[in-house]
Structure 1
Amino acid sequence: MSGTLTGAGLRVLHLGKFYPPASGGIESHVQTLARAQAAQGARVEVLCANHSRDSGNTSHEFHGKSPTLEEWDGLVRVVRLGRRASVARMDVLPELPGTLRRMLAQGVDVVHLHAPNPTMLLALDMMPRLPAVFVTHHSDVIRQKVAGALFRPLELLLYTRALRIFSDSEAYIEGSSLLKLFRSKVRALPLGIDVEPYLRPSAEVLAAEARWRQDFAGTPLWLMVGRLVYYKGLFTALEALAKAPGRLVVVGVGPLEAEGRARAKALGVESRVTWAGYLPPASLMGAYRAATALWFPSNARSEAYGLSQAEAMASGLPVLNTAIPHSGVAWVSRHEETGLTVPVGDADALARAARRLVEEPGLAERLGRGARERAEAELRHDVMATRSLKLYAEALGRPVPEMTEAPSEVPALTGTGRA
């Protein structure tokens, strides 16, 4: 973006757990931030685990062996380390120490860790010397109490070394005992998405929207998007559906799917639930455009933000979310402005909010307009990238130069390049 602050010449290494096509909010965020920083002139690399033997596989539920791959994602160099095994949710990556040392030796200004990420954090802890370290603390360890307690000393060691720690939202900071220990160097860096494909949909997206509308004509269409894990509030959604009209399309996979199907049957809503699994991007974008609202009934601070809210909002779709204490969820989509916010775990309140969208004339349209406007103004990927580069510069004590022209594309090195 000509005329905006950029990271020209800044060398940034992101450490993620996985990277798309692996699905997941943090995975998507790392890709979006890396691409947007590179577009503003930074030299950006990503180091992560290879989530699968199959380069097209979207799920990171696979825990077996995988090969090492190196590729270019547009302007971003991505190194996916081969995994030997996964033990207690930690990936065993034999090549990690050596690869990390070599990448650092090539010259890095900023090491940016995305946490929780025990494997990468431990690797950084073991490095005697590091460039400036920045950490995005996406979530506390909420449910795994024992693992969290054992992991805390390792977190403390790296967070003490970090120059800055980013939180997805201001709201999350005061509810995190870890972040409050380092409050003087914590800054909010709200997540963003590339809103352009949502604001100006492709012909493929419009065709997908038409199919969704045709398949579910005459009934409200509710979406849930995300991994089927405990904090997503799947069971609350199913209970709410029993008290609201319409059909619920559940987009995502995860360990609670079988229990969710059983619960839907017990509640008598089995025929009104579509288990869509993973959807390709165009199909998901079409669903956002065809739906009545996104249901986002998450129930714990493990849900710190909720990028699918931003995707829905950019599509002009109202969001029904929950008021999780000390989480950024209700900051992303605001009550009565871009959607409706209900108490955590309250299926009756979620059902009432859904009925309001159907019964109150003009409400869904007003909230949808507000959602699109907020996404375009505050939740853009380029806004996020500029903020991140300014925060780097402030901490490093250096100015961020301006870019005079767009950087040229980098050719594929090895593996499969993806635009």
Structure 2
Amino acid sequence: MRVLHTFKVYSLEREGGVQRAITALAAGMPEGDVGHIFFTLANDGPWTLQPADPNLSVHAVRRTATCCATDFSLHARRPFRALASDADIVHYHLPWPFVHLLDRQVPPGVPRVATYHADICRNPLLKRVYEPMMERFLRRLDAVIATSPVYARTSPVLQRLPEALVQVAPLGVEVRDDRGVDVEQARAELSARLGEGFMLFLGATRRYKGGPVAIEALRHTTATLVMAGECVDRDALEARARASGVADRVVFLDRVTEVEKWALLDLCRAMVMPSTLRSEAFGLALVEAGVARRPAITCEIGTGTSYVVRDGETGRVVPPNDARALGAAMEQLHTDPALAAALGRGGHERYRQHFTAAAYAGRMRRIYDQVIGQRGRAPASYSVNSSSDDDGTDQREEVHS
């Protein structure tokens, strides 16, 4: 079986939950079972990439423009059509308005599914114009996939779709087991610099992530906060820390490597993800906290964050935009290591039961089989490197050290 995934960016340009979910999906399936082709846009396209995973290949075309956080390309039509012609299923990852144009290139009879990753929250104009168009588009697909039962119940868009169309497949996390020595070295270096037992804010400080709330919460705890990830508004966050009188207890690390991320998770007391908008639909970093046996503190925003984290079982769930409640939860885990350890064990067990890459892959494989069966198609054998022609694109190979 060959599945063609489509999303606006790949991890080489910008890390994100969607990219990591696609990678985990490919990694969770047995080698040779399903070939996953990731079609995307890049500023330096066209190129193709063969990652370490034999089930995955990446094909990028040049990004032409970006408007209202939406990426477009004038070079996508023919390459996408060629890949779609060889696919058994086209899997869109939404929201991304450009897929409406790409969808016209899919041959008749090829099943199309979409993972609905998040409602549009940050751009009221785009929401008003695009949401009705997206809803009509979703109704024409073979399946629409929510990433948690909570999001399926609370998304206005998903609630308006036919019940039989919407399925649920919670995301999973790929955990590689070949970096133990590297993580230990990074752990030693970071421990010398940061110590241990801090609160960890992991990920880019986008507006919906609640970075300012996390800093304000330090007024209500004695803990230190380490903010690791692309800090798009660092000046504003540093100014807020100074104004709140907590600048001496905030450490900014900006972007960190995969190895450094796992070292930080090992060193921290708890993960903090105080997201404030439904743009935070799932929160893969919360799952990663469970992988590392660390509790997570998040907010109840009616999305998958409170599905991943069970209050009192795997971490704490507090109201959004409530610095006092967030600070109290941080202080509780900061001053009670035994409780933090118990919640961390609960988070690890929940990860093992629900959020492994294999569990995610199994859920998606059943959906793929179902929609192919409904269309009466027989999936073809695959090679992730096959394509209809040689277009002279840059051929890249991802090397993991």
Out of 290, 299, 315, the residue aligned to residue 313 of structure 1 is: 290
Alignment partner of 1:72 out of 50, 55, 61: 50
Q: What's 1:184 paired with?
A: 164
- CA RMSD across the alignment: 2.5
- Structure 1 counterpart of 2:2: 11
Closer, same or farther: CA 243–119 of 1 in aligned 2, 3 Å: same
Alignment of 1:133-172 (within 5 A): 133-172=112-151
Structure 2 counterpart of 1:3: none
Describe the superposition over 1:260-319 as per-residue Cα deviations: whole angstroms up to 9, x where unpaired. 111111111112111111101101110000001001111111111100111111011110
1:339 to 311, 315, 334: 315
Aligned partner (choices 217, 226, 243) of residue 266 of structure 1: 243
Superposed displacement of residue 196, structure 1? 4.5
Aligned pairs (5 A) from 1:326-405? 327-360=303-336, 362-397=338-373
Residues 336-366 of structure 1 deviation map (CA, whole Å, 9 limit, x = unaligned)? 1111111111111111111211333620111
Q: Write the distance in 2 (CA, Å) between the matches of 1:240 and 1:40.
A: 48
Verify: 1:109 aligned to 2:88, yes or no.
yes
Q: Deviations over 1:226-247 (max 9, x none)?
A: 2212211111100111221122
SS of residue matched to 2:397? coil
- The code of the aligned residue for 2:197 comes to P
Partner Cα separation in structure 2 for residue 361 and residue 223 of structure 1: 15
TM-aligned CA deviation for residue 207 of structure 1: 1.6
Question: Equivalents in 2 of 1:130, 1:100: separation in Å?
Answer: 16
Match of 1:279 in 2: 256
Find the residue that maps to 1:118 and give its secondary structure: coil
Structure 1 residues 120 and 361, CA gap change in structure 2 (3 angstroms): closer
Please give the alpha-carbon distance, in whole angstroms, between the structure 1 residues aligned to 2:106 and 2:349: 44
**Residue 131 of structure 2: SS of its match in structure 1?**
helix
Query: What is the CA distance between 1:410 and its match in structure 2?
Result: 6.8
- For residue 4 of structure 1, what is the aligned residue in structure 2? none
Task: Give the SS at the match of 1:304.
Answer: coil
Match of 1:82 among 50, 62, 72: 62
1: CA distance between counterparts of 2:383 and 2:129? 46
Q: How does 1:191-340 map to 2 (within 5 A)?
A: 191-197=171-177, 202-217=180-195, 220-325=197-302, 327-340=303-316
Query: Which residue matches 1:56?
Result: none
Residue number among 89, 94, 102 corresponding to 1:123 in the alignment: 102
Q: Which runs of 5+ in 2 are unaligned?
A: 387-393
| Structure 2 residue matching 1:340: 3-state secondary structure | strand
- The secondary structure found in structure 2 opposite 1:363 is helix
1:96 paired to 2:76 = yes
| Structure 1 residue 252 displacement after superposition | 1.8
SS of the aligned residue for 1:39 comes to: coil
TM-score normalized with structure 2 length: 0.90
Q: Using the alignment, how far apart are the partners of 2:45 and 2:367 within structure 1? A: 35
* 2:47–2:59 contact (8 Å) kept in structure 1: yes
Q: How many residues align?
A: 386
Distance of aligned partners of 1:38 and 1:408 in 2 relative to their CA distance in 1, 3 Å threshold: farther
Contact 2:229 2:253 in 1 (8 A): yes
Cα deviation per residue 1:127-147 (whole Å; 9 max; x = unaligned)? 573610110000010121111
* Contact 1:16–1:30 (Cα < 8 Å) also in 2: no
* Residue pair 1:124, 1:158 contacting (<8 A) in 2 also: no
**Post-superposition offset of 1:385:** 0.6
Note if contact 2:95-2:116 (Cα within 8 Å) is conserved in structure 1: yes
Equivalent position amino acid for 2:366 in 1: K
- The 1:165/1:24 distance shift into structure 2, 3 A limit, reads same
